[in-house]
Structure formats: C-alpha cells, structure tokens
Chains A and B, each alone.
Chain A
Amino acid sequence: SQQGEEDPQALSIQEGENATMNCSYKTSINNLQWYRQNSGRGLVHLILIRSNEREKHSGRLRVTLDTSKKSSSLLITASRAADTASYFCATDGGYSTLTFGKGTMLLVSP
C-alpha cells in the first residue's frame, strides 16, 4: 500500500530557483527518508529525518518533519539542471521496510 503522497506530482523551475516538494503519510513512522531517481534507474538516498527531529540540513537540501500533521517537505535551494530527477519520500515504520510515495518529477531548465 502507498503511504506517502507527494505534492506536486510534477514541478518545472529555472536554474537558481528553489524547489519545494511535500509529502504526507498516514501511519506512525520510525523515520522518513527522501530519495532521488534519475531516468528510471537506481534510487539515491538524500536525507533521513527521525521521528523525533523537526528539521535537517544537508548541503542544498532542507527537510522538515511535522509528525502531528504527518507531513514532510524537501527544499532544494539554488537548483541546478543536474537536479532534474524524480524525488520520492519513503516512510520507515520499522525494520527498514520502506513505503514510497508516488513521487515528484522535478525539471530544472537552464
């Protein structure tokens, strides 16, 4: 079953702009993770935020988590053409079994 729901489904921006993607989930979680996928190949882990954390940064990425609203957001600042990819949130309810959201397709134009 799909737990995470991303919003928007597709996002098109210019290089240098910020991109924000949102994710909602339904049940309690151990942690929430964000992954990137290029052209239908393997997924690359971006960032993990634990259920007792509210915000986390990694380079140009900022993730927030609101467990009361069961939602998370991923912000990519100063986007680049190389950031073009699909982005998935994934909830981990335990035992590292990930349930992925539907994903956001991000297109960054030069």
Chain B
Amino acid sequence: DTEVTQTPKHLVMGMTNKKSLKCEQHMGHRAMYWYKQKAKKPPELMFVYSYEKLSINESVPSRFSPECPNSSLLNLHLHALQPEDSALYLCASSHDGQGKTEAFFGQGTRLTVV
C-alpha cells in the first residue's frame, strides 16, 4: 500500500465552524506533513511531524491546529478560518524525515471558507 488517504475530498465551512481534515498512511512512514496550495501556486509547507512529534511549524496561524494521534494518522483541526484560507490542503509522508527519500502525497482536501 503506497497511498496517502485524505478525507474529505471537498469541504465548505463557515467562518465560525470547527472542522477537521484527516490523513492516513500505512507505509510505516515516520514523517508526515501538511502543505497548503493556493490556485496556480506551488505547495507551501505548514507543519512537519517526525516520529509523532511536531518538529516544524512554519509560522502558521493558530486557527490551524495539527495533531498526530499515532504514526499512521495526521489531523488538521480548523477553527475560525478566513475566506483567504480557502485552498487545497495536501498531506504527505516520507520514510523518516531525514531527507533521504521522496514524499508521498494524498489527493488533497479542497477547502472553501464562506
């Protein structure tokens, strides 16, 4: 199984809502990532979890809250988002986060904030 599965595929939420994005992989990877991609732009790194510990937070606003319950799962909790947060949110995983191997990406969640 070489897949990273993200749910939901699409999400529309109001600015007062609380929602969560989910990501799962069963490749035994120990590093997992959240990226944000705006239309016609490249992905930008948000968070990195290495061995279930948050290792990198790229100065992301606190309305985005990541969680890594175990080595296979990664969540992104969303609260009080703004319309400009509308984007494609991509989850990825890699072997061990030591920079030796490629990343595997999920199909993303397309988020619209209204």
User: Which positions in A face B, CB cutoff 8 Å?
Assistant: 2, 30-31, 33, 35, 40-45, 48, 88, 92-103
Which residues of A have CB within 8 Å of B66?
A: none
Count of inter-chain pairs, beta carbons less than 8 A: 76
Please report the C-alpha to C-alpha distance between residue A58 and residue B43 in the assembled complex, in whole angstroms. Answer: 24
State the Cβ distance, B38 to closest chain A Cβ, in Å. 10
- Residues of chain B lying within 8 A (CB to CB) of residue A42: 4, 90, 105-108
B45–A99 CB distance below 8 A: yes
A43 to B44 CA separation, bound complex (whole angstroms)? 13
Which of B11-19, B69-77, B95-103 participates in binding chain A? B95-103
Task: Report, as a range, how many residues of chain B touch the other chain.
Answer: 20 to 34
CA of A42 to CA of B41, assembled, Å: 13
Q: Does B62 contact A (CB under 8 A)?
A: no
Contact status A45-B102, CB under 8 Å: yes
Residues of B within 8 A of A (CB): 4, 31, 33, 37, 39, 41-45, 48, 50, 55-56, 88, 90, 92, 94-108, 110
- Whole-angstrom distance from the CB of A6 to the nearest CB of chain B? 9
Whether A41 and B107, one on each chain, are in contact in the complex, defined by CB atoms closer than 8 angstroms, is yes
Q: Which residue of B lies closest to A93 (CB)?
A: B99
Q: What are 7 A-B pairs at a CB distance below 8 A? A: A33-B102, A40-B108, A42-B4, A88-B42, A95-B31, A96-B95, A96-B101
